[in-house]
Amino acid sequence: MAIKLEINITNKWLYSLIAFGILLALGVGVYAYQSNMRAGNPPVMGHSAGEINVENSTGQVVSLQDALDSSARQVVSLQDALDSLKTTIIGSEDGYAGQTGHQACLSIGKTCQRVISYNYIREDGACTSATHCMRVCMTWYNQNLPGVENGGKDNIHSCDALLGDYTTYLHGGVVRCNAHFSAICS
């Protein structure tokens, strides 16, 4: 035995029924959704984060939303801690000319790691080779500067070095080298 069901409907009514069905589905969805994460009606739209209890790391039972909020605050605190570990380079242009690396870093609440120098040719009187004089200026020191090793060939110095611009190498009438000293603090 076969049942035959035939429905004749005009396009106008068919499209009207489809539109009504879509509007009805949207209406139910809007009614069921709760934007407040701490409230909600579980039989209608499941559970919100405010309704689910979890155990935190201390063994205390709290809502999932409170646990998430606490974790977010901890992430921000961790980011602040990481930011405080970042290094800062300070020098005479920051108002620390004449201070040692130790003094300058301490004034911003950090510890001096080292003082570095950016060396350059200040005067070139009778240098026979610009390349040679530049190499001398970049790494050689023959002036008595605190925290700077005489005869040293490195632009990394102890934190006892003074910040600012100083003559680092002098060969009278040939070349005068200067350097800008800055502290690396963390």
List the domain boundaries for the chain: 89-185
Please give the average per-residue pLDDT across 27-42, as a whole number: 59
Nearby residues of 176 by Cβ (< 8 Å), 6 or more positions away = 121, 122, 123, 125, 167, 169, 170
Q: Provide the CB-side half-sphere exposure for 71 (13 A, CA).
A: 10
Per-chain mean pLDDT for the chain: 80
pLDDT, residue 106, reads: 94
pLDDT, residue 86, reads: 77
Please give the average per-residue pLDDT across 43-47, as a whole number: 55
Candidates 163, 168, 159; CA nearest to 91 is 163
Please give the average per-residue pLDDT across 100-127, as a whole number: 88
- In angstroms, the CA 1 to CA 175 distance is 114
Pick the range with the lowest mean pLDDT from 21-25, 34-38, 90-94, 117-121. 34-38
Decide: helix, strand or coil at residue 72: helix
Q: Is the pLDDT of residue 85 over 80?
A: no
Q: Is the pLDDT of residue 98 over 70?
A: yes
pLDDT, residue 30, reads: 64
**Beta strands 175-185; 53-55: pairing state:** unpaired
Kindly indicate the confidence band of residue 58, based on its pLDDT and cuts at 50, 70 and 90.
confident
- In angstroms, the CA 15 to CA 119 distance is 81
pLDDT, residue 19, reads: 92
Residue 155: other Cβ atoms inside 10 A: 17
Pick the range with the lowest mean pLDDT from 18-27, 36-45, 86-95, 141-150. 36-45
What's the Cα-to-Cα distance from 55 to each of 71, 74, 75, 104, 163, rounded to whole Å? 13, 17, 19, 47, 54
Q: What is the DSSP letter of 162?
A: B
Cα 23 to chain centroid, rounded:
48
Helix (H) and strand (E) counts in the chain: 5, 7
Pick the range with the lowest mean pLDDT from 3-12, 24-33, 84-93. 24-33
Kindly indicate the confidence band of residue 183, based on its pLDDT and cuts at 50, 70 and 90.
very high
pLDDT, residue 131, reads: 77
